[in-house]
Amino acid sequence: MLRLKNLTKSYDDKVIFQDFSMEIEKNRITCLLGKSGCGKTTLLNVLSSITGEFTVARSDFEKLKYSYIFQEPRLLDNYTVYKNLQFVLDSKHLSKAEMDESIMSCLKMVEMDKYSHYYPNQLSGGMAQRVSIARAFVKDFDVLLMDEPFKGLDPTQKEDIMERFLEMWRQNRKTVIYVTHNLEEALCLAYDIHVLGDSPTRIIYTSKNAYKMNDSDRDIERNRLWEILRSQI
Amino acid sequence: MKKRFLKAAAIILWLLVWQILSVIIGKELLLPSPYITFATLIRLLSQPAFYNQILYSLLRIVAGFLTAVISAFLLGVIAGLNKNVEILLSPFITVIRSTPVMSFIILAIIWFSYNLAPLAVNIIMCFPPIYDNVVKGIRSTDNKLLDMAKVYRVQPVKVFTGIYLASVKPFLMAGMNTAIGLSFRVAVAAEVLANPRYGIGTKLLQAKYNLDTAEVFAWTFVILLLSFLFEQLFKKITEGGRRNAPAEKSDKII
């Protein structure tokens, strides 16, 4: 279990987190569900140390290695798909052959190996996001953070990319923290779902083991989560 | 094709205007005709010393320009990354930008040898446009890419070459483009005042002393031609770089 205790963070005068605590089961996909602007992305940025200036009583998240799939692919336009993956790899500790093998196998998993020599602006949004998923898995990590990575994709693309993501995740089953405001995505991917409320951000409901539920229990859980989310608007 | 024809027509038109004006004025000392100017140029081309003058001027121009590019790039990167360095350098940059070039030339003649003064002034005058652009390029780096590199713990050298350098490149090119034209004007002006043994500026001054206006025109034409050729060479080099850059959106795979 990874624990975060009493996180406090403010932006200017606005308190985002006040003594916020959460527990994340290791080697599972945990979803943080909440409406837009409730502090989901800020939480991921705090965990990965993108954002500084916060206080915390205890954090098991410090000193961990992270991969991050962002809302937008964040690829380097001047680098090819292959070089974008190479960019995050530590060239000092890998031979050329090892590097090549891990890059090409990750690209193959997302069916982008044929496009390794393409530049990001030659790819569609869905293809670029598949490359960013490959980039997340090419480097060894303890925790994978995902910030609404399927937002803005059309339903067919989304289904395909989610499928490929799960396929890759099943190969290493590392801890994943995934934020979204899309209930269906959460139910499709997550083992545990924490619903976040805001002002300041707190966990208002936790759905454990959503993945184990049968269809009727899942429907009940879906309605319950839907009601909670609606009450937040 | 049509554009080329129009350009050629414009050049012919202005040559005609020049010819007419020289006929109206009727004094070669004030305005030599295009024919006399080009005849003088041909005469200069046949003299071996002509190439020596050009070589020395070009050496000063190229060496000054490259020194300015390297120093402005390095300091621009440091100042772009560190606001305090930018503040520290700002009085120096403001002074260079606002001081008349003639003041620098006179000071350079006092401080350096006649041969080195044009080079020193060239470096000083080319520095600000390149430096300003590099600072802008560093500041316009995409923070989202930097955050990505931070999460993935990418080595600083790779962050610099992959993210910062890509952001700086178009700004650096714009700065260098401005500086290249400036370099020719400043170096020749400094040669006129410093009067080194070899240099286009020295020959310009000698032509003036000899009241040989046609030679002044011929040397001016040489400066314009060299400046134009250097700008074209620079364009070719940067276009070559662009050919290796990402393809345009039209090649996009949907």
Q: Across the interface, which of B153, B155, B166 has its CB nearest the CB of A76?
A: B166
Q: Tokens 């339903």 label which residue?
A: A155
Closest Cα in chain A, distance from residue B167 (Å): 10
Closest Cα in chain B, distance from residue A129 (Å): 13
Judged by CB atoms closer than 8 Å, whether chains meet at B148 and A70 is answered as yes
Q: Does A64 contact chain B (CB < 8 Å)?
A: no
Task: Round to whole Å and give the CA distance between B41 and B35.
Answer: 10
Neighbours of B218 (CB within 10 A): 25
Judged by CB atoms closer than 8 Å, whether chains meet at A74 and B152 is answered as no
Structure tokens at B202: 């020295």
Does residue A91 contact residue A149 with C-beta atoms inside 8 Å?
no
Residues of B in contact with A72 (CB under 8 A): 144
Task: Round to whole Å and give the CA distance between B146 and B187.
Answer: 40
Residues of B in contact with A79 (CB under 8 A): 162
- Closest by CA to B169, choosing from B145, B143, B140, is B140
Q: Across the interface, which of A50, A78, A139 has its CB nearest the CB of B166?
A: A78
pTM: predicted TM-score of the whole model, two decimal places: 0.83
Q: Edge-to-edge strand order for the sheet containing A175-180?
A: A66-69, A143-147, A175-180, A29-33, A192-197, A202-207
Which domains are assigned to chain B?
51-253 (1.10.3720.10)
Per-residue pLDDT in tens (0 to 9) along chain A, 233 residues: 888 888 888 887 788 888 888 889 899 999 998 887 788 888 899 888 888 788 887 788 888 999 999 999 999 999 999 999 999 998 778 888 989 999 999 999 888 999 999 999 999 888 999 999 999 999 999 999 999 888 877 888 788 888 888 888 998 899 999 998 888 888 888 889 998 887 777 787 888 877 777 788 888 888 888 888 878 76
Q: What ipTM goes with this model? A: 0.89
Q: Does A112 contact chain B (CB < 8 Å)?
A: no
Closest Cα in chain A, distance from residue B149 (Å): 7
Q: Does A122 contact chain B (CB < 8 Å)?
A: yes
Q: Across the interface, which of B155, B166, B253 has its CB nearest the CB of A123?
A: B253
Mutation choice for A interface testing from B142, B145, B148 by most A CBs within 10 A: B148
User: What pLDDT sits at residue B220?
Assistant: 92
Judged by CB atoms closer than 8 Å, whether chains meet at B162 and A119 is answered as no
Q: What is the CA radius of gyration of chain B?
A: 23
Q: Does A50 contact chain B (CB < 8 Å)?
A: yes
